Amino acid sequence: MTFPRCPRTKAKELSTTNPCFVFGVQKMEFKERDIISLRDFSRSEIDYILDTASLMEPVAHSRSDLLRSKILATLFFEPSTRTRLSFESAMHRLGGSAIGFAGVEISSVKKGENLADTMRVVENYADVIVVRHPLEGAARLAAEFASVPVINGGSGAEEHPTQALLDLYTIMKEKGKIDGLNIALVGDLRYGRTVHSLAYALSLYDVNLFFVSPEMLRMRREVSEAIKEKICVTEKDRLEDVIGDVDVLYMTRIQKERFPEIADYVKVKGSYRVDLKLLENARGNMIVLHPLPRVEEIAPEVDDTVHAKYFQQVWNGIVTRMGLLALILGKIK
């Protein structure tokens, strides 16, 4: 299947000294590639994935047999609704099939099998594997042991690259651009893995970032140090201080399950809540995003406003993952 492509302006990090560029043209290779961290991707590559996702919009409705006979395995050692079902739905819409497990209780991990062995077994069953694991570094380790491509579906509090890709795709779709936007990442910036991947990716664009969190949940140092070299970041405690200035408000859940001490969670629980009153001070075209699940950080009354785009993100996740699977499995170049 061939798709027409729109010409793009040159990405800002293009450099002839980068070994990935041959005579000034970036050599992009997605086939068989692991998707572990967005630090491993250039802006051109991310833009290319977003372009591919948009090409998948009509295909997602009409269905296709592009990945017929291909098998996706989803190994979820942590709870999930969206990521696992979204990958499976993406695979089915492209004519492929999906196998897997959700929860260690029903897998051989319960019998003491280690991740390396699990990967060496599952690579026989599938052409691509999505892994979600509570331990940081687990996805990279899994990729080292599997001969088929591995996609990180969430590695502890570390990263969640495909969520960030669908977040970027949503911003692009809703705003028509990413460059030039003011974007606030709000809530649990310490334990929330989606904001880590998103911050890495946004640092490749010309954006102003606001990090809004309680002191205890400030952005992980390794992430903020890496991105502050590239873009302007302002840290705030109060959502009220940024609400009038932002184009994108990215809310996150306080990650209760990742706090070593429940007493600390209780101190920051309910720190932020977007409601109609807060939105009175927002820009008319400001969009509210959230990776979901939400707990109490967005009042249900916000769902019916023009700002709410978090359920659209769910659809966008399907097309983004369709594009990614087609690229990784070498069916789209």
SS3 132: strand
The residue within the footprint of ligand NCD, chosen from 43, 133, 160, 196 (CB under 6 A), is: 160
Q: How far is the CB of 251 from ligand NCD (least distance, A)?
A: 10
The residue within the footprint of ligand NCD, chosen from 291, 307, 320, 323 (CB under 6 A), is: 291
Q: How far is the CB of 212 from ligand NCD (least distance, A)?
A: 16
User: Is 132 designated active site?
Assistant: yes
DSSP 8-state class, residue 38:
G
For the chain, list the strands marked E by DSSP. 21-22, 25-26, 71-76, 97-102, 128-133, 150-155, 182-186, 208-212, 232-236, 248-251, 287-289
Instruction: Assign 3-class secondary structure to 257-271.
Output: HHCCCHHHHHHHCCC
Residue number with CB closer to ligand NCD (34 or 159): 159
Catalytic residue among 93, 133, 160, 193: 160
User: Is 321 designated active site?
Assistant: no
Count of beta carbons in the 10 Å neighbourhood of residue 95: 14
Residues 165-204: x/- map of binding to ligand NCD (CB under 6 A)? Answer: ----------------------------xx----------
Q: How far is the CB of 2 from ligand NCD (least distance, A)?
A: 32
SS3 136: coil
Q: Which residue has the tokens 């293009």?
A: 14
Catalytic residue among 70, 132, 190, 309: 132
The residue within the footprint of ligand NCD, chosen from 37, 83, 155, 170 (CB under 6 A), is: 83
Cα-Cα-Cα-Cα torsion 103, 108, 113, 114, nearest 10 degrees, comes to -30
Residue number with CB closer to ligand NCD (194 or 271): 194
SS3 22: strand
Cβ pair 163, 197 in contact under 8 A: yes
Count of residues interacting with ligand NCD (CB under 6 A): 10
The residue within the footprint of ligand NCD, chosen from 26, 37, 44, 163 (CB under 6 A), is: 163
Task: Looking at residues 21 to 80 of the shown chain, list those that interact with ligand NCD (rule: CB under 6 A).
Answer: none
User: Is 160 designated active site?
Assistant: yes
Q: What are the angstrom distances between the C-alpha of 265 and each of 251, 270, 325?
A: 17, 10, 37
Q: Nearest-CA neighbor of 328 among 29, 118, 125, 4?
A: 29
Catalytic residue among 52, 74, 83, 320: 83
Q: Output phi, psi for 132, to 5 deg.
A: -115, 130
The residue within the footprint of ligand NCD, chosen from 198, 207, 292, 308 (CB under 6 A), is: 292
Q: How far is the CB of 314 from ligand NCD (least distance, A)?
A: 9
Could you please report the per-residue DSSP string of 109-120? Answer: GGGT--HHHHHH
Contact status: 213 vs ligand NCD (CB under 6 A): no
Task: For residue 4, say if its preceding peptide bond is cis, omega within 30 degrees of 0.
Answer: no
Contact status: 253 vs ligand NCD (CB under 6 A): yes
Catalytic residue among 27, 61, 111, 221: 111
Residue number with CB closer to ligand NCD (66 or 217): 217
Q: How far is the CB of 83 from ligand NCD (least distance, A)?
A: 4
User: Is 83 designated active site?
Assistant: yes
Amino acid at 167: D
Contact status: 133 vs ligand NCD (CB under 6 A): no
Q: How far is the CB of 330 from ligand NCD (least distance, A)?
A: 26
Distance CA 97, CA 103 (A): 20
Tell me the catalytic residues: 82-83, 111, 132, 160
| Residues forming the site for ligand NCD (CB under 6 A) | 82-83, 154, 160, 163, 193-194, 253, 291-292
